[in-house]
Structure 1
Amino acid sequence: MTVSDPPPGDPYRPAWMPERPPSRLGTGSKVIIGVFAVALFFVAAVVVTPGARTISGQALEAPGAAAEAKAQRSEGSGSKKAEKVIELASNPLLGKDVRLTDVTCELPELGRSDAELTAFYEAQISCLDDAWHPALRQVGEPTSKALLQVKIPQVSRCGDAPDSKKALAYYCPGDSTIYAPREWMLEAVGVNKGSHLATIAHEYGHHVQNESGILNAASQQMTSDDESSPEDQERVRRIELQANCFGALFIAASAGRGDISASTANAAIADYGNTSDSETHGSRKHQLSWARAGSEEKNTAACDTWSAPASEVT
């Protein structure tokens, strides 16, 4: 896929980029930053050390987002049209009877080349579609396909790409693409299958938030451009902890079948706890606890971080 430079004034391209946050993991740690955007802009940072990483981020609504959402809702008046619902805790996707479809994933061997990683990720994304699309259709929300890139472009619909020292993987809702550059992924996690599964499932979780309208709703509540306020940091924690839970729902829906063994699934869930504490993504305890909530309860209501008390999203 070729992504052209965003035109002047493109609402998907931010006017700023966050500074590299200080590492809290001691000598040898690497700080990695990714970018998310849709009819909003979302930035995430990942801190990676051997066996530990943290993700943090921010969301801001872009100009025209509300008008775009309204236009989408007004189309297809003759029949019910799948549309985003710009709500958080009350989003239909988080209803108590919504579950992912159990899937049997056929995945090629995980390798180090562009072709091998692309084949592995695309097979997983196809399986993620099979698991998530019925749930989204159940509540009348869109099911656009997530795209994939294992080579980073200079710019995307989310603006300038981060350099190799500032990114592991990221999702850009502006072009519905998961960017997982081969060199960065292999340097961070090697060919640990559970880690690759967890990372892609987490990024796809942001795609689900985008499709459902949750990201739009969260962005409308942001009050600062740099996520510096305690309120915004808490909102971002709720976004990212939910993405962990959504990722774990998929892991649970595919565990013990096809090419995702029970032991590999357990390793993938545990990978969500290979973190350090983060003001924007939560404590190591809660990054893992929300993943476990998804994997154990196996319904989307378990991922309602928006109704959780502040003490559960620290």
Structure 2
Amino acid sequence: MMLRIRTKIALLAGVLVLAAVAVVVVIRSTGESGEPAPSTAAPVEAVQAAPPTSSATSPPPRTEHDKLDGNQLFVAGVTPDKVSCALPKATVRADIEPFLRAELKCLDDAWRPVLERAGAPFESTEIALDPTLCRFDPAERGPHYCARDNKFYVSPAKIAEEGFERAFLIGLLSQRYGNHLMDLVGINDARANLPQAATTEAAKQENLRRAILLTDCLSGMSLAALTSGGSLTDAEARKIITGWQNAIGDPDGATKKNVGKWLNAGFAAKDASACNTWAASSADVA
């Protein structure tokens, strides 16, 4: 009997001890006021996710040579529109200026859509009759393109010396119009800034021939546009091309064979990529 009473008393004492411990734990965790006690643990700073990294790198800046053989004129796959022009008659010296202005409008109409499709700005040019400006050679019979002011300088007296054959007059401006196109798409500037252009005289002359032959090829494309539109017969176009090929007099210029090659390549071209002299071998521009 006494053993049972002692056992009950021991159990009751244990319960009271556990209850007291629980009260102490609650008080410490909530504080005396019953509010939650401030945490003593070190604050955990928010970890921000690192921005995603891309394995792709920015493309390297375009070199001057990229602006030549990779020019938008060549990669866009474009060709001039065929144009039908009402070219006036030219029988006297006073007829030369209106004839060339009419032809210039035709060439602008043929090439403006090309440059727009290629993403290049288009700007028309004009005919200037003062042959003394922009370092124009008075002995030169045909129009001389001046990139500084975007004009074709013409000496009507020199042109009149050659007569007033229609095909001859068309060929004069068509041959120089390629310089204007090269200026608009940045080829002239890129060529002038080529690092290798000043290394050797041979390299300089090769770059010059590439530019001249590109002009010839683009001129062939202009003749094709005029021919397909009925402004020029195929026989007239072939006569112009043959005349250009045989008129070579510059010892530093390209061979007659290569001049004819690029002229005919332009005349038969499906798009301007056929005129990319900057991607051609040295033998093709010799």
Q: What is the TM-score of this pair, normalised by structure 1? A: 0.65
What residue ranges of structure 1 are gaps of 5+ in the alignment?
A: 1-84
Q: Secondary structure at the match of 1:231?
A: helix
Alpha-carbon distance, 1:277 to partner: 5.6
Task: In structure 2, give the amino acid aligned to 1:135.
Answer: V
Residue 112 (structure 1) aligned to one of 74, 77, 92: 92
Residue 208 (structure 2) aligned to one of 222, 225, 236: 236
Alpha-carbon distance, 1:252 to partner: 0.5
| 1:141 match | 120
Task: In structure 1, give the amino acid aligned to 2:255.
Answer: S
Residue 122 (structure 1) aligned to one of 101, 106, 130: 101
Task: In structure 2, give the amino acid aligned to 1:147.
Answer: E
Cα contact 1:146–1:204 (8 A) shared by 2: no
The structure with the largest helix share of the pair is: 2
> Superposed, which structure 2 residues align to 1:178-197 within 5 Å?
178-187=152-161, 189-197=162-170
Cα contact 1:204–1:247 (8 A) shared by 2: yes
Alpha-carbon distance, 1:192 to partner: 2.7
Q: Secondary structure at the match of 1:97?
A: coil
* CA distance in structure 1 between the partners assigned to 2:128 and 2:151 by the alignment: 7
Q: Does 1:150 align with 2:134?
A: no
Alpha-carbon distance, 1:223 to partner: 6.0
Cα contact 2:77–2:271 (8 A) shared by 1: yes
In structure 2, do the counterparts of structure 1 residues 313 and 277 end up closer, same or farther at CA, with 3 Å as the change threshold? farther
Q: Does 1:206 align with 2:191?
A: no
Task: In structure 2, give the amino acid aligned to 1:293.
Answer: A
In structure 2, do the counterparts of structure 1 residues 86 and 177 end up closer, same or farther at CA, with 3 Å as the change threshold? farther
| 2:192 match | 219
Residue 176 (structure 1) aligned to one of 141, 144, 150: 150
Q: Secondary structure at the match of 2:278?
A: coil
| 1:33 match | none
| 1:94 match | 74
> Superposed, which structure 2 residues align to 1:1-314 within 5 Å?
87-95=67-75, 97-114=77-94, 116-152=95-131, 154-155=132-133, 158=134, 160-162=135-137, 164-165=138-139, 168-187=142-161, 189-221=162-194, 229-276=201-248, 278-314=250-286
The structure with the largest strand share of the pair is: 1
Cα contact 1:106–1:259 (8 A) shared by 2: yes
Cα contact 1:242–1:304 (8 A) shared by 2: yes
Alpha-carbon distance, 1:96 to partner: 5.8
Alpha-carbon distance, 1:127 to partner: 0.6
In structure 2, do the counterparts of structure 1 residues 86 and 190 end up closer, same or farther at CA, with 3 Å as the change threshold? farther
Q: What is the TM-score of this pair, normalised by structure 2? A: 0.71
Alpha-carbon distance, 1:275 to partner: 2.2
Task: In structure 2, give the amino acid aligned to 1:197.
Answer: I
Cα contact 1:100–1:298 (8 A) shared by 2: no
Task: In structure 1, give the amino acid aligned to 2:235.
Answer: S
Cα contact 1:86–1:212 (8 A) shared by 2: no
Cα contact 2:83–2:228 (8 A) shared by 1: no
User: Cα deviations across residues 234-260 of structure 1 (Å, max 9, x unaligned)?
Assistant: 101011111011011011111154432
Percent identity of paired positions between Structure 1 and Structure 2: 25
* CA distance in structure 2 between the partners assigned to 1:249 and 1:308 by the alignment: 18
Q: Secondary structure at the match of 2:69?
A: coil
Cα contact 2:197–2:203 (8 A) shared by 1: no
User: Cα deviations across residues 51-85 of structure 1 (Å, max 9, x unaligned)?
Assistant: xxxxxxxxxxxxxxxxxxxxxxxxxxxxxxxxxx9
* CA distance in structure 2 between the partners assigned to 1:288 and 1:110 by the alignment: 28
Alpha-carbon distance, 1:180 to partner: 2.0
Alpha-carbon distance, 1:261 to partner: 2.0
In structure 2, do the counterparts of structure 1 residues 250 and 224 end up closer, same or farther at CA, with 3 Å as the change threshold? closer
In structure 2, do the counterparts of structure 1 residues 228 and 179 end up closer, same or farther at CA, with 3 Å as the change threshold? farther
Cα contact 1:252–1:298 (8 A) shared by 2: no
Alpha-carbon distance, 1:298 to partner: 3.5
Cα contact 2:143–2:155 (8 A) shared by 1: yes
* CA distance in structure 2 between the partners assigned to 1:258 and 1:141 by the alignment: 27
Q: Secondary structure at the match of 1:178?
A: strand
* CA distance in structure 1 between the partners assigned to 2:215 and 2:258 by the alignment: 12
* CA distance in structure 1 between the partners assigned to 2:270 and 2:240 by the alignment: 15
Cα contact 1:95–1:301 (8 A) shared by 2: yes
| 1:76 match | none
In structure 2, do the counterparts of structure 1 residues 252 and 274 end up closer, same or farther at CA, with 3 Å as the change threshold? same
